[in-house]
Amino acid sequence: MKIFAAALIAVMLWGASAVAAKIAVSSLSPMMVAVLRTVIGGFIALPMAMLFRIPLPAHTSQRHLLILSGFCGFVAFPILFTLGILHTSANHASMILAGLPVFTGLIAMAWDRKWPARVWWIGCAIAMAGEALLIFGHDSSHASGASIYGDLLVLASNVFASLGYVAGARLERDGYPAMGTTFYGVGLYAILLLPMLFLVDPGIPMRAVSTEIWVAIAYLAIGVTIVGYVLWYWALGQGGIARIALLQFLQPVSGVILAAILLSETVGSVFMIASCVILFGVWIALSANR
């Protein structure tokens, strides 16, 4: 029960990521937003790692996994996702992120050379059919500001995010704590990305950035990058990647609702029907692991 609770909290936190990113890129460039979320998150995470006395991975294989998970989760994903969110709507971005469980499950299975039960595939197919309805349905697929280019960038970010999840989950399974994977992963790349703050948008005065934008960036840096990843890595490692990853099918539902409330993006009957299909697909897929 604790594993599912942790995963659901992470999913709810991530559900608002598209909206927060959309707010942030309204005043700052996507690259600046992507770099800021990792740098701020890293310079909070590193002192926490020291405070909790979390050691670095002892084995070379674990260090490789840490480098891989950190690059995918805190460099490649935020850059591609934030670039994509500039050219598409928060609705579309939230919907496309529903592909994460499929990518995560497939990468994990390929890594471990396993094949899931047929019910898992059926549940995934049903859930993805719901996502297709959300994306291509008339009253939600034509959201203002959406484009194929932006959608493809967000889709590409899925692959890196999923690979990072699998690497982080394997570290947890190997006995390395999820907090260490998150804190040192984001901290390492925060140091490497720090010079980018002086190269990206050098003419923009940070004092002129509104409080709303800083709140959105703080949410991405702390809520999404630190809290979300700690909970998610732990849940994946403890509960199984293929099973827990399916809960991300719920992420676009909360994302679209928040987009409607905060950004006035359209939600209609197609969204409601598709949401029911997604939930049903998740339930079917989860039943394969009972």
The per-residue pLDDT for range 182-228, each reduced to its tens digit, is 999 999 999 999 999 888 776 667 677 889 999 999 999 999 999 99
Q: What was the pLDDT predicted at 145?
A: 65
Cβ atoms of residues 150 and 8 within 8 Å: no
Render 67-130 in DSSP notation, one character per residue: HHHHHIIIIIHHHHHHHHHHSS-HHHHHHHGGGHHHHHHHHHHHHHT----HHHHHHHHHHHHH
Amino acid (1-letter code) at residue 171: L
- The per-residue pLDDT of the chain, averaged, comes to 86
Phi first, then psi: what are they for 25, rounded to 5°?
Answer: -75, 0
SS3 55: coil
Local confidence band at 233 (pLDDT 50, 70, 90 cut-offs): confident
Smallest CA-to-CA distance from 169 within 248, 102, 99, 108 is with 108
Q: What was the pLDDT predicted at 141?
A: 45
CA distances from 290 to 225, 233, 259, 287 (A): 30, 21, 34, 5
Smallest CA-to-CA distance from 230 within 185, 290, 261 is with 185
Across 16-31, b (16+ Cβ under 10 Å) vs e yields bbbbbbbbbbebbbbb
Q: What was the pLDDT predicted at 288?
A: 67
Task: Output the six-digit token pair for 141.
Answer: 């697929």
Asked whether the predicted pLDDT for residue 286 surpasses 80, the reply is: no
Chain centre to alpha carbon of residue 206: 26
Query: Could you count the other beta carbons within 10 Å of the beta carbon of residue 215?
Result: 13
What's the N-to-C CA distance of the chain in angstroms?
13
Asked whether the predicted pLDDT for residue 140 surpasses 60, the reply is: no
Q: What was the pLDDT predicted at 247?
A: 81
Q: What is the pLDDT of residues 51-103, one digit of tens each?
A: 999 999 989 999 999 999 999 999 999 999 999 999 888 888 887 887 788 78
Q: What's the number of domains the chain is made of?
A: 1
Smallest CA-to-CA distance from 179 within 227, 220, 230 is with 230
Q: Which helix (H) or strand (E) holds 280?
A: helix 269-287
Domain that holds residue 243: 2-287
